[in-house]
Amino acid sequence: MNNRITIIFDFDGTIALGDGPVLAYAQQVAAATADPGAFMNAIQLALTNPDSESLDGYDAVRRAAEEAAVDAAHLSRSYLASRGQLGTPEVAISAPDGLADFLAAAENVERILVTNAPDIRLTEALASLGLTGLFDRVVAGAGKPDGLERLLDEIPEETRVLSIGDIWFNDLAPAHRRGHATALVGEFVDPDATPTFRATTLTALLPQLQEWLASVTPTATPTLTEG
């Protein structure tokens, strides 16, 4: 019998919270626009009032950049430059309250961090979040959703899997199609999303995720002794 349990976490917008990284990206992009101030105001508005047109804050920056005729090369340079500031005082991030305790208490559970972001300051960022050593595996530059499909292919079919993220299409849909549990967090709305669990923050979901974990954790069978 396979008693394996695997929980897959996304990074940005899921375990790394705060608008700092997106705003750092936007500031880099804004330098190539005709009106940097107006560009930043548009991004602030998109973050304050998320809509169903954008997958997340990064996608909102991309869409605004396309409207401002910013080329793809500048977008790429801007993104990499912003990642170089990740987890610094200038681009601060925070972890959801209770996450570190949840991860530490998840005994006999494979905890995997899977992100499309490159491996730039990820180690330092996890340290700033107080999550050092709490993931069994970190996969950077994953190329989700296809990268998540490949990861799921490696997991034994009988494994109980929970995938947690803030973008349905990238972080959860591949797991959902295989019958796995999913948890969607964040402000951005995807009308096609049908997650098992859903809340604005991961902190709000933790009690339900703890119940799920308890429900799929094998119960030890008492050892019978003669006498």
pLDDT band at 2 (very low <50, low <70, confident <90, very high): low
Rounded Cα distance, 216 and 23, in Å: 39
Rounded Cα distance, 117 and 115, in Å: 5
Rounded Cα distance, 132 and 135, in Å: 8
Contact present, 193 and 201 (Cβ < 8 Å): no
pTM, entire model: 0.88
pLDDT tens figures, 110-144? 999 999 999 999 999 999 999 999 999 999 999 99
SS3 134: coil
Rounded Cα distance, 42 and 117, in Å: 24
pLDDT tens figures, 182-200? 999 988 778 889 999 999 9
- Can you list the alpha helix ranges (DSSP code H) found in the chain? 20-30, 36-48, 57-67, 72-83, 99-105, 122-128, 146-154, 173-177, 202-216
Contact present, 186 and 166 (Cβ < 8 Å): yes
Share of the chain above pLDDT 90, in %: 81
